[in-house]
Amino acid sequence: ALSPTAVASVFAAKGRPPSDPLIVHVPSFPLALPLIDPPAPALHAASALAAALWPGPLTLVCPASAAVPAAVTASTGWVGVRSPRHDLAQRLLREAGGPIAAP
């Protein structure tokens, strides 16, 4: 999710238009923190939502930090972050050692 080359590969492999942002997947909320840059009240709300609903189907949409390539956000400045519930996805995210961007 943080490599512009890897992100470009996702768009190419899926035939996805660059105007359609990707979702960034993480195993837990603390690992989402470097990806988002919300104001303090929104950060508190995002943390509470993640504590209650992650891992699960909730995608948090927040202002993206400078660490997130513009291509991931379709140059909107906003990033969708999700922590999937599926055991295999969680294992893959932990093994990857960083966030994974996917459609």
pLDDT computed for residue 35 by the predictor: 98
Would you give per-residue pLDDT tens digits along the chain (103 residues)?
999 999 999 999 999 999 999 999 999 999 999 999 999 999 999 999 999 999 999 999 999 999 999 999 999 999 999 999 999 999 999 999 999 999 8
- Which phi and psi angles does 26 have, rounded to 5°? -135, 155
The pTM score is: 0.94
Beta-bridged to residue 36, according to DSSP, are 64
Q: What is the DSSP letter of 36?
A: B
Q: What is the pLDDT of residue 61?
A: 98
The CA distance from 24 to 96, in Å, is 13
